[in-house]
Copies of this chain bind each other. A is one copy, B any other.
Amino acid sequence: MAPKPLDYENINENVKKVQYAVRGELYLRASELQKEGKKIIFTNVGNPQALGQKPLTFPRQVIALCQAPFLMEDPNVDLLFPADAIARARHYIAMTSGGLGAYSDSRGLPGIRKEVAEFIERRDGYPSDPELIFLTDGASKGVMQILNTVICNENDGILVPVPQYPLYSATISLCGGSLVPYYLEESANWGLDIGQLRQSVWEARHKGLTVKAMVIINPGNPTGQCLSEANIKEILEFCYIENLALLADEVYQQNIYQDERPFISAKKMLMSMGLPFSKEVQLVSYHTVSKGYWGECGQRGGYFEMTNISPKTVEEIYKVASISLSPNVPGQIFLGLMMNPPKPIDISYAQFVSESKAILESLRRRAQIMTDGFNSCRNVVCNFTEGAMYSFPQLKLPPKAIAAAKEAGKAPDVFYCLKLLEATGISTVPGSGFGQKAGDFHLRTTILPPEEEMPEIMASFKKFNDEFMQKYEGYSWSRM
């Protein structure tokens, strides 16, 4: 019988080519083990509230009122909600035409796009135009939309850092384009070397690709580094010279755990560089409510801001956004709240600040505990997590471990991570899911487990790792 239209043989090859390790083999095995009753520590995805992070109170009060505006007519509402949450709920309801149950404009509610623009202006000190800001169901959706606009066919190349967050490789596959890797330098704390970048572009062009865009992730995922001012400037100059659009994934801009390199947006740097750069380099910048000290992943709120993109292209992007009608409206309101948090004059200000600070300070401590923990392990070296939510230690796997992995039909880092999962319940993502230099092996873990559980988790990791390394080093090591 002939294969049917939705049989595997018949479906879109680009779909089949997609690889997405964050929810790949390790995650599936972890889910199975969980069903069997094993306690799993899901550190495979940056999902803070799944690991116990409490949501900020004020935004949740506001959204509850927006969802049930009839509560505001109840004489008892003041018993459960502070006055500023009520006022803010009225502010957002007034921006909608019909409340949270009505589709908004496909670019998002104009009032919230204005709040985003005002946030960007305060952050960068340069103007921002709400007409060039589109709200999305999380940043990933915006990345997918822009890549689908840029990529015409398999000859179109997109520069992506390696290691990278696999959203990029997966979406490039899905859109039928070509990923052009540029390697981050682990020994230079995952720094970006412009010489290396130039070489990648040259090689890609030599293969017949048209390199159209470059992705940066700042702070880095999975690598956790923060780009310096000088580095961002070099990148923008490079994009100008090479005629590349820059996609700046800045979703971790609140997650900074050192003071030497504060977050600087690509937009700010671009504007500060003046002509011709500020008018010529095409830039799309991303942000989200899923990260930072908000961690509202499940709400799916995000935006992208377009700079130096022609109105005709903006119209095309709007048209395509219209097909799925509207990003979810509650997620838009979370974004509005993130852009425009309580002010010192507000009743809820003190609580909001104390909750946010506590989360951010704890993340900073956890980044340190984790880096130190990994660096205390046999054959493991790990750069400090300067920002974002991940630790990306290198595993120096002994030849015998590599041989054992080969025998088991697994990539060496997958083999290690599976053993780690079975032994400890810690669910990580193998470095091969992000890309790494040939012969190097890593894993990615989030820094999100609750702080009080961290010492135990790291001890359990160390015990597993050191035994694993010892086992596979065997005699050959002891003779060295």
Contacts and interface: CB of A to CB of B under 8 A. Distances in A.
A46 to B, nearest CB: 9
A57 interface: yes
A131 interface: no
A282 B7 CA distance: 9
A322 interface: yes
Interface string A43-70: 0010111111101010011011101101
A70 B284 CA distance: 38
Interface string A314-326: 0010011011111
**Size band of the interface chain A makes with B:** 35 or more
B98 A328 contact: no
A314 B138 CA distance: 24
A6 B313 contact: yes
A298 interface: yes
A296 interface: yes
A408 interface: no
A312 interface: yes
Contacts of A10: 152, 212
How many monomers of this protein are in the complex?
2
Contacts of A49: 98-99, 101-102
A15 interface: yes
Contacts of A55: 99, 101
Q: Which of A52, A99, A175, A298 has the most CB of B within 10 A?
A: A298
B101 A140 contact: no
A23 B322 contact: yes
B4 A282 contact: yes
B18 A243 contact: no
A79 B78 CA distance: 11
A298 B80 contact: no
17 contacts: A5-B244, A7-B313, A12-B149, A23-B319, A31-B105, A49-B101, A55-B99, A55-B101, A57-B70, A60-B68, A64-B64, A71-B80, A77-B80, A96-B298, A140-B323, A140-B324, A144-B324
Given A15-B149, A71-B80, 12 more contacts: A4-B280, A5-B244, A6-B309, A20-B323, A23-B325, A48-B101, A60-B68, A79-B80, A101-B295, A138-B324, A144-B324, A170-B320
Interface of A: 2, 4-8, 10-13, 15-16, 18, 20, 22-23, 31, 45, 47-53, 55, 57, 60-61, 63-65, 67-68, 70-71, 74, 76-77, 79-80, 96-106, 137-138, 140-141, 144, 148-152, 167, 170-171, 174-175, 212-213, 243-245, 280, 282, 284, 290, 295-300, 308-310, 312-313, 316, 319-320, 322-331
